[in-house]
Amino acid sequence: MLENYVKIAWRNLWKQKSHSATNIIGLMVAFSASTLLLLSAYFEFSYDRFHKNASYIFRPYLIFNEAESTYKAASVPYPFIPTLKAEFPEISKATRFIASSGKISYQTKELTKDIRCADPDILTLFSFPMRQGNASTALNSLSNLVISEKMAKDVFGTNNPLGKSVLIRGFGEPKTFIVTGVVADAPANSSLQYDAFIRIENQPNYTENKRQWNNRNHTAYVSLKPGTSPEEIDKRLRAFANTYFQELIRDLTKNGARPDEHGSVVTVGMQPLTDVHFNTHLTVGQQTGRRYLYILITISTVILLIALINFINLTLAQSFTRAREVGVRKSLGAQKSQLFAQLWGEAILICSLSLLLGVGLAALLLPYFNTLFNAKLSLALLTNPLMILTIAVGLGLITLLAGGYPALRIARFSTVNVLKGVLTNGKLSGLRNSLIITQFAIACTLIICTFIVLRQLHYLRDKPLGFIEEQVISLPVGDEINGVAALRQLRNRLANNPQVMAVSGTAINIGSGLDGGESQSRMGFMFNGKEVVTDWLRVDYDYLKTLGIHLQAGRDFTTSFATDSTSAVLINATMAKKLGPGNQVGTIFKAGENDNPYQVVGVIDDFHLYRLQNRIEPMTLHLQFRDPIQYILIRTTPQGMLSVMKTLKNEWGQIAPKSEFLASFLDDNTDRWYKQEERQSQMYGIAAGIAILLSCMGLFAIVILSTEQRTKEIGIRKVLGASVASLVTLLSKDFLKLIVIAVVIASSLAWYAMNQWLQDFAYKIEMEWWVFVGAGLLAIGIALLTVSLQSVKAALMNPVRSLKSD
């Protein structure tokens, strides 16, 4: 019996080649796209879940209930973790963590590596396997060094690294460390990435800050003992915050702080480790929000849904051509269950074949997908038991939905009506029309979303940033040389170059440079009875000239005033308003650990130091030499950009011969701010293209079947004098009505979805009506072209042939 069903299924597929090809190709493309998108979502959701006790690991963070808003920060002070661990026996392990880097020297090799500062517990709190050494003792000494497998290979080759001595720069004075362990490389789905670990006590200024509760400079992780309730810990953390952040609470209270519902001004929160990767507020840099992953899942689902709609529509449309076959089988004694099994078996065969082809296509496209969307996917993810189960259950549901319902409808045809030829298609036509509206509504929604994302991306890239980013080179200093000394040498070497207009330095880069560094420095102080929080930016002379920032009032930093390097500051317009009304030039405020006095010598225009997702905050520029210069900025003439870059590379090779040259143009850096939005627009665009292609394939096949069923009607109309135009209109108008309805529905869906998406941006576009009209006209035009291709062909058919056929 089963063998007979398979043979019949293959014969029917071969007999209806065009419709079978439409179904198989459509499902194959849908399965391929859905596989890649679901793999991406699965990979992102798997972040940090490989740790054995991931559900018990948390990242503490601070919540400040300020007068105007609630501010959250993942950075904590040095004494926070030791005190927390001492007072909470429920905490089994805890570590502080600083994402630092340094230069390691061994024999003739010198490499810059991500050398992280942490406490000894980091090797046992997380589940990074130790390849050599003991995780419990490997970081017991301040001179111990634990390296990754990759770093062991890069530095020591095939030699055993244990016990070897290396010199590390970047943590104050160069220091010798001894390799005491080798830890496995962090997997790609780990929030913590590293090349090596050293003790956090090696951080510069650790000794003077280890008891300071008002200096936050690192993140931390704790592991709770099994069975511990995080909710109970949260209650006790309120008392902990009230005890150890009294000074901060006092300052916030003076500034009119708004306590939360429990009366707390400062509280400590516990963020689950599995949420860290998705956090977009507590972590500096571009994190992956969960909303983006839900978008991936939604897109993969709707693409698959469109392909299934095609399958259902074509199967139901073909039901009239197979009605007599069903009637004859039923008259010969075939049961409904047997007919259902045969027809559903055909659907299973098509879907299974399409799935195999789709996975194969996904495997071929995977390298291009990884490159296009900066992903790290591998086909090994498909072997995960959960993924296999998901695919198997999904295939079962798809065949049941796409094949089971049409099979049930066909199997229930009345034998007498079928053999008499009086079968009607009223109910099926209603379902078909609803499905066509659904798939084109989805496709049109994606088209509108693509347009809006592209317009927002264009708006962000074209919006004035408050400085002139063109013709500016940004050069990371690195760890080998002191930034101030490097800046001084480079100024001297470029002083006589006519193509160099200005040279300056800063501690914080603008945009996303080739070194991948992103940071933020903030300072809070009391002024006239209220707290002022400002971005605290270390710059050097000619910073305004180099970036083309306009000076509103006062003066710029200059070597003519010795106090500029100790107590003078420049503030932006937002900071000036924060200090109060009127001209703020000459205003003195006290800030820092020792309440050092600072005098405002100039007010500058607001400019965007960070991405446009955030509004411009108060900003203070200072020139204190004790803070490092991390980036050197060089403004060139328009004609000298490439030549200066070449000269700069040669000069830097002499100033810092062991440092990697990672200079980049500032406008490229700011452009990289929006790579995620660009990837999102590409994904919407590709999804929209696939959706409209699949929809048109299905529509084209439906039109073919519809015209085949109306062959005699078309012939009679032509004999009676109907023109080609009137026949095309007759065959097309019903389908175009459906597309118009789909466009109206899509406009509402897209407006809501994009309005929610735009809420993440402080600076955003307005959604104009013409975007929706344009997208609708595009969808209607594509559908009209699809329908017209077959309608014109049917209208031009010789009426004699159509009237001769039975």
The answer to whether 760 and 676 are in contact (CB under 8 A) is no
Strands 57-65 and 216-224, by their bridges, are antiparallel
User: How does pLDDT run across 270-280, given as a tens digit for each residue?
Assistant: 999 988 888 76
Domains of the chain by residue range: 1-47+280-424, 74-229+268-276, 435-463+674-806, 478-658
Among 344, 334, 331, 321, CA closest to 425: 321
Contacts of 491-495 with CB under 8 Å at 24 or more apart are: 493/651, 493/655, 494/634, 494/644, 494/647, 494/648, 494/651
User: How does pLDDT run across 107-157, given as a tens digit for each residue?
Assistant: 888 888 889 999 999 999 999 999 999 999 999 999 999 999 999 999 999
CA distance 426 to 433: 11
Give the pLDDT confidence score for residue 285 in this predicted structure: 47
The answer to whether 607 and 547 are in contact (CB under 8 A) is yes
CA distance 791 to 546: 64
CA distances for 318 relative to 402, 409, 689, angstroms: 14, 12, 27
Element (H, E) at 552: strand 551-554
CA distance 323 to 413: 8
Give the pLDDT confidence score for residue 288 in this predicted structure: 61
Q: Which residue has the higher pLDDT, 239 or 805?
A: 239
Question: In the 8-state DSSP scheme, what is residue 404?
Answer: I
415: which 2 tokens?
């034998």
User: How does pLDDT run across 317-339, given as a tens digit for each residue?
Assistant: 665 555 556 665 656 556 666 66
Please name the residues in contact with 614: beta carbons below 8 A apart, sequence gap of 6 or more: 762
The answer to whether 380 and 187 are in contact (CB under 8 A) is no
Question: In the 8-state DSSP scheme, what is residue 567?
Answer: T
Please name the residues in contact with 548: beta carbons below 8 A apart, sequence gap of 6 or more: 467, 468, 635
User: How does pLDDT run across 429-478, given as a tens digit for each residue?
Assistant: 666 778 788 888 888 888 888 888 888 888 888 888 888 889 999 998 87
Q: Percent of the chain scored above 70 by pLDDT?
A: 83
State the amino acid at position 364 in one-letter form: L
Q: Which of 48-62, 474-488, 546-560 comes out lowest in average pLDDT? A: 474-488
pLDDT bin (cut points 50, 70, 90) of residue 804 is: low
DSSP secondary structure, 254-311, as one string: HTT----TTS-SEEEEEEEHHHHTT-SSSSSS----HHHHHHHHHHHHHHHHHHHHHH
pTM (whole model) above 0.75: no
The answer to whether 196 and 114 are in contact (CB under 8 A) is yes
pLDDT bin (cut points 50, 70, 90) of residue 806 is: very low
Name the 3-class secondary structure at 727: helix
Q: What's CA 501's distance to the chain center, in Å? A: 37
